[in-house]
Amino acid sequence: MKNDEARGGTSTALPEGKVTESRVAAAEILADLRRGELVDAAMQRHSIRLDWRDRRWLQELIYGTLRNRERIDAVLATRVRGGLARLDADLRDTLRLGAYQLLYMGSVPSYAAIAQTVELAKARHGIGAGGLVNAVLRRLDRERDSLEDPAATAVDSIERLVLTYSHPRWLVMRWVERWGEAVAEQLLAANNREAAVYLRPFGVELAELQKLLDESEIHYVGCELVPDSLRLSSSVNLTELGAFKQGFFFVQDPAATLVTRYASFEPGSLVVDVCAAPGGKSLELARSHVVIAADRSQSRIRRLAENVGRLRASNVELVVMDAGSPALRPVTSVLLDAPCTGTGTFRRHPDARWRLKPADIAVSSAVQRNLLEGAAAAVAPGGLLVYSTCSLEPEENEAQVEWFLGEHDGWVLEPPPKGAVPEDVLDGLYLRVLPHVHGVDGAFAARLRRRR
């Protein structure tokens, strides 16, 4: 099998000192994350030369390392003289990659995990770094059967959760204060599960898409929250499927689909999606509306255009525009899917938990208020503004709605039509989807009606 050494982690078929492309890419991706890049963009750029199986292996390595970083650090810290903090940040990440392969990736032989990580350290930091990595990983390999769970010696319940589920302490404390320890633990555990891939049929009926997937021997199951979505139950290279190339589906988590169903804009109305990229909600709305999909980033609009073109979604118009001051005549239907901290999507973006800082919630909230003001100005009297986020934080969700209503007398919060979404994703008049409750991404939405 081509590149089996990269996927299985063995190095026997490689020249001495040669590091597999997948591991070189992993080190470069983590370096990009330290510089502030998002994991999806870094993964896409550095895996472009790999086949899909190698990309899958690389994703497991990167995502797994990020999801278990705190536990890995606790194990490594007692085996690095002077502690991890004394090491260069890039060398720390190299060690983390090696430790993850040793402790979590059963498909990778120990000798390959060690030898490849040593060579990677040498290539990036010299012979001395290679020697340090060799000593630490060999000791870890010898002692792995007797390793003590770091959480077993935690000084308090917060540290136990931090070490068990590898989330920043400040965020764990915040969620425990909000939900209590038991519920917070359920959320932390949900964040560490691999996110499923859901397909939305487009231009074809569900039964026709199912038939096409069956012909390609793709395994899938249904989705209780969104009955006309399909959840893939096996790994597959979607871009190679005939149904993908023909534009018969796009990928969308049920939480995002539920936002559009909760919105329930008047059928046939013109909908302006003012923060549209990456575009899934615009495509979903395009089933029964003409959609103006706007975003201030030209590069994000270009990526959205690729998907629109593949699906032949002729009723989606793309516009580069700042949602804070939209150049629009008032319309009756506006969606503001606001940029946010994304705490409801940690399953898909495990880098976000380490990138996020406490002050970011306040910064995000300030940006959202500006966008709400801009989006509201584009809504005609009698029209509907739907505000949504993929955050779990009240400052970005209900607090924003309460602030907006307090500042704008002519607006009211109203419920969705009965039956628009399942009752268990409604919290009063709000849409609230929770990873630990519903098993999908987190989402929040509110329907704001302009009375005058």
Q: Which residues have a catalytic role annotated? A: 390
Q: Are 24 and 58 in contact (CB under 8 A)?
A: no
Contacts of 283 (CB under 8 A, 6+ apart): 200, 202, 250, 252, 307, 308, 311, 313, 316
Provide the 3-class DSSP secondary structure of residue 302. Answer: helix
> Per the structure block, which two tokens stand in for 115?
């030898």
Residue of 207, 163, 155 whose CA lies nearest to 185: 163
Determine if residue 312 is left, alpha or beta; phi over 0 gives left, psi from -120 to 50 gives alpha, anything else beta. Answer: left
Is there a contact between 431 and 443 (Cβ–Cβ < 8 Å)? yes
Q: What is the sign, positive or negative, of the torsion defined by CA atoms of 94, 100, 105, 111? A: positive
What is the distance, to the nearest Å, from the Cα of residue 191 to the centroid of all Cα atoms in its chain?
10
177 exposure class (CB count in 10 Å sphere: 0-12, 13-18, 19+): exposed
CB 271 within 8 A of CB 378: no
In DSSP notation, 107-136 reads TS-HHHHHHHHHHHHHHHH-HHHHHHHHHH
Tokens for 130, please give them.
Answer: 């290679």
How far apart are alpha carbons 262 and 415 in whole angstroms? 9
The H-or-E segment that residue 185 falls in is helix 181-191
The DSSP element (H or E) to which 444 belongs, if any, is strand 443-450
- Return the H-helix or E-strand segment holding 380: strand 379-389
What CA–CA distances, in Å, run from 20 to 42, 125, 150? Answer: 18, 17, 31
Q: What amino acid is encoded at 375 in this protein?
A: A
Write out the E strands in 240-373.
Answer: 249-251, 270-273, 290-295, 316-320, 331-337
**Amino acid (one-letter) located at 156:** D
